[in-house]
Amino acid sequence: MPLNPLYISHLASGGLITNYYCSSACRHCLYRCSPQWPKEYISAEQARENLQTVRRLGCLAVHIGGGEPLLNPEGVAAVLEVANQVGVHIEYIETNSSWYRSHAAACTLLDSLAEQGLSTVLVSISPFHNERIPFYKVKGVIAACRETGISVFPWVSDFVADISTFDDQKTHSMEEYQQLFGEDYLERLPYRYWISPGGRALETFGRFSTQKPISQLAAESSRGCSELAEVGHFHIDLYGNYVPGLCGGLAIGAEDLGTPLDPETYPIISRLYSKGIGEFESYATEVYDFTASQAAYGSKCELCYEIRRFLVVEQGVDSRELQPQGHYVYG
């Protein structure tokens, strides 16, 4: 049976990934960002191309995320300027607050970004972030936003009480949280926080899921991964990769959006979209001699990631659709 090509004909809501390097390495990070990534940042030209693509496909507003975007304030300013020129509204910038040094310096930076049109900052608040970033920095950024008239989107306020139990001048490990709030603290986090089942969340939370044999996962996803067609929370990165759905490590060239994907160029995404994880596993076994390391997995996405990592890291596959390679190398 021929493959049914994925066709992204329009975009609803999403974001621009300006960089993958990050001052944190959160256990749940969908894009496996960390300090290990090279310090590469989106150029003004790539930002323009991405935003023109987004606009062409009907989306007139995006957010800016990373990695930590504000590790390069000049880069953020350039993106804001380009967004103004292209006519795409920037809804907010996400930040982990690690860049905070003093109230005065934070106000100066935020003032200058407000002049470029920045109106809202999404401030990350979670125990994952608190493993690497002292909470006084988060509070400092929130105070600086208030002083400079920038709206704060706290994500998520529900954790403030937990985090405030500890010394805000220091970082605190998940083990400390578990000692204080119970051994099952980590396991319960997905009930309090929207965590996408991808990226490092696969390793962090997969063990808490019911383990299913590959044959069962294949049968359950035999109608294909419709997630790949989701356009309600898309991302386009600094290399011109459109991330289909929330499937970090898979990529469609931004130039290929707006037309049905060619299965010759996108054999993996086409198989996953048409026939699901079973078809992808059969393809990887047949063409690349893949052998699963486990008999059962917590989700189809865990197996999907294991196969993709095998292709990139073990087999040296360099394809348009397994990008950025750092997702597999630095993750």
Alpha carbons 327 and 331: distance in angstroms, whole number = 5
Site string for ligand SF4, 147-186 (x = CB under 6 A): ----------------------------------------
Site for ligand SF4 in 260-289 (CB under 6 A): 272, 277
Residue 106 within binding range of ligand SF4, rule CB under 6 A: no
By CB under 6 A, the count of residues binding ligand SF4 is 23
Alpha-carbon distance of 67 to 207, in angstroms, equals 26
Output the six-digit token pair for 253: 């060239």
300 binds ligand SF4 (CB under 6 A): yes
Q: Give the one residue of 8, 42, 82, 301 binding ligand SF4; rule: CB under 6 A.
A: 301
Instruction: State in angstroms the smallest separation of the CB of 23 from ligand SF4.
Output: 7
- Residue in 3, 11, 33, 64 binding ligand SF4, rule: CB under 6 A: 33
Token match 């930590």: residue? 68
Determine the 3-state secondary structure of 67 from DSSP.
Answer: coil
- DSSP lists the bridge partners of residue 289 as none
The answer to whether 235 contacts ligand SF4 (rule: CB under 6 A) is: no
Q: Cα separation of 235 and 247, whole Å? A: 10
d(CA 198, CA 235): 14
Q: Residues 58-97: x/- map of binding to ligand SF4 (CB under 6 A)?
A: --------xxx---------------------------x-
Q: Tell me how many degrees the CA angle 44-48-52 measures, rounded to the nearest 5.
A: 175
Angle (deg, nearest 10), helices 44-56 and 73-86: 40
C-beta neighbour count of 322 within 10 angstroms: 19
Q: Which of 11, 22, 163, 261 binds ligand SF4 (CB under 6 A)?
A: 22
**Residue 155's beta-bridge partner residues?**
124
Q: Whose Cβ is closer to ligand SF4: residue 176's or residue 230's?
A: 230
Which stretches of the chain bind ligand SF4, using CB under 6 A?
Answer: 22, 24-26, 29, 33, 66-68, 96, 124, 129, 198, 225, 227-228, 245, 247, 272, 277, 300-301, 304
